[in-house]
């Protein structure tokens, strides 16, 4: 059994969907499970609908735009009397009802944003069948089970594996299976999401539970590069990487693979291919059980829109274990990930992604215990396996606010 994952860029329009379906058709002789994201920027548009709902502004126009986006793609793929057009109208009607729900915001978020993957997977299944590739739509929520933590559901691995092992392989004997990334089902029966950009993780969940032969993530880049080609000049393609190296790269902020993806695959020894959907015959990058090559080029990871928060004790005592325990508990309660941290005798500083609502909750929870200062709009640079020449080029910057260096890694927070 093989697992393919296609992101939003690979199915952003009719021509991209044709290309994606040709890749799938070329591998249809293998037992194949295809995991797809929402099309193009659909997730962003669905989040905009939620924002409009919160601000009580009219959302009918953007609902119509969302319908038109998918209809126009389908008009290029299907005959005008195809059932997919009624399906799309029904999905938009359901979205309008969901947006009017009085439930908690995070709960509504998952019911609304998940529509992107449900719509895209139905369109792709229909088009594969239309082109003669026998395909079956599979509802990921019937298999991927989570707790009731909306927007970042925690997978119930035992139940999920039981459900996936029950019938997925048998269903794949005569059909290409198409399912959704990013979504699951909570204990209360509602839809949950697995965290932003979580479709890679979904592919890893299915692959791990199936002990799959491999996972291939199809991207708009040739594989994993040592830096974002938009930000790093002459970025170099890695032909292979060890699981641990790839996992560390995602931890530091590399965005080609979702951070949760590597662990379940490494635990089962399942290789992960990262390949270009524009050039599917090229080898891409293979992540598997291997050793890091000598003279590996340094990896340059740049994270923008970072926030530096400093907690200073207010009674002239030192930053001790009790203070740190309180800060870490509050971070955990608000689902805030630390990108880098540093402390002195009387203060503790962290760098996190700039999420205004989370920062406000954090400050409100801890303002009685610490003098809290923060500034945002910062840039966090990580040099992994740095070479002296590369290190010197990045350290020669007068705008460094914070830096850390070890034998292999260098990190700096810069006010750009």
**Binding-site residues:** 5-8, 43, 117
Q: Are strands 299-313 and 347-353 parallel, antiparallel or unpaired?
A: antiparallel
At which residue do the structure tokens 């800060």 appear? Answer: 327
Rounded distance, CA 398 to CA 159, Å?
53
**Residues near 361 by beta carbon (within 8 Å), at least 6 away in sequence:** 334
The CA dihedral of 312, 317, 319, 323, to the nearest 10 degrees, is -90
Rounded distance, CA 246 to CA 266, Å?
10
Shortest CA distance to 116 belongs to which of 185, 178, 37, 190?
37
- Residues in binding site for substrate: 43, 117
Sign of CA dihedral 228, 234, 240, 246: negative
The secondary structure of 316-337 as a DSSP string is S----HHHHHHHHHHHHHTT--
- Residues in binding site for ATP: 5-8
Q: For 167-213, list the strands marked E by DSSP.
A: 176-180, 183-185, 191-193
**What H or E segment, with its residue span, contains residue 348?**
strand 347-353
**Residues near 146 by beta carbon (within 8 Å), at least 6 away in sequence:** 153, 154, 155, 156, 184, 185, 186, 187, 192, 194
Rounded distance, CA 146 to CA 7, Å?
22
């Amino acid at each position: 059994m093989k697992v393919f994952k296609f992101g939003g860029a690979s199915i952003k329009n009719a021509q991209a969907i044709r290309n994606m379906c040709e890749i799938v058709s070329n591998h249809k002789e293998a037992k194949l499970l295809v995991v797809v994201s929402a099309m193009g920027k659909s997730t962003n548009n669905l989040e905009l609908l939620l924002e409009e709902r919160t601000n009580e502004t009219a959302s009918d126009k953007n609902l119509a735009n969302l319908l038109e986006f998918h209809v126009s793609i389908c008009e290029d793929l299907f005959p005008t009397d195809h059932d997919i057009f009624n399906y799309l109208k029904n999905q938009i009607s359901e979205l309008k009802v969901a947006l009017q729900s009085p439930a908690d915001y995070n709960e509504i978020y998952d019911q609304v944003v998940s529509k992107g993957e449900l719509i895209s997977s139905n369109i792709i299944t229909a088009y594969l069948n239309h082109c003669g590739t026998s395909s079956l739509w599979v509802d990921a929520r019937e298999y991927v089970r989570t707790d009731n933590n909306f927007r970042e559901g925690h997978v119930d691995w035992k139940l999920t594996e039981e459900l996936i092992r029950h019938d997925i392989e048998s269903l794949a004997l005569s059909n290409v299976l198409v399912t959704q990334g990013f979504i699951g089902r909570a204990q209360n029966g509602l839809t949950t999401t697995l965290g932003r950009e979580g479709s890679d993780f979904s592919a890893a969940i299915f692959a791990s539970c199936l002990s799959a032969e491999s996972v291939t993530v199809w991207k708009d880049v040739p594989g994993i590069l040592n830096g974002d080609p938009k930000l790093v000049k002459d970025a170099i393609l890695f032909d292979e990487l060890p699981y641990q190296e790839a996992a560390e790269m995602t931890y530091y902020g590399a965005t080609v693979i979702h951070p949760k993806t590597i662990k379940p695959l490494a635990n089962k020894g399942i290789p992960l291919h990262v390949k270009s959907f524009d050039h599917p015959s090229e080898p891409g990058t293979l992540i598997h059980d291997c050793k890091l090559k000598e003279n590996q080029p340094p990896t340059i990871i740049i994270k923008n829109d970072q926030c530096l928060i400093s907690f200073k004790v207010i009674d002239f005592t030192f930053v001790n274990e009790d203070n740190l325990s309180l800060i870490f508990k509050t971070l955990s309660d608000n689902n805030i990930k630390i990108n880098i941290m540093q402390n002195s005798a009387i203060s503790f500083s962290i760098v996190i992604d700039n999420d205004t609502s989370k920062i406000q909750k954090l400050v409100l929870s801890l303002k009685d215990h610490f003098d809290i200062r923060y500034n945002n709009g910062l840039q966090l640079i990580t040099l992994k396996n740095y070479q002296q020449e590369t290190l010197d080029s990045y350290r020669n910057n007068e705008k460094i606010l914070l830096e850390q260096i070890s034998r292999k890694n260098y990190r700096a927070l810069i006010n750009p």
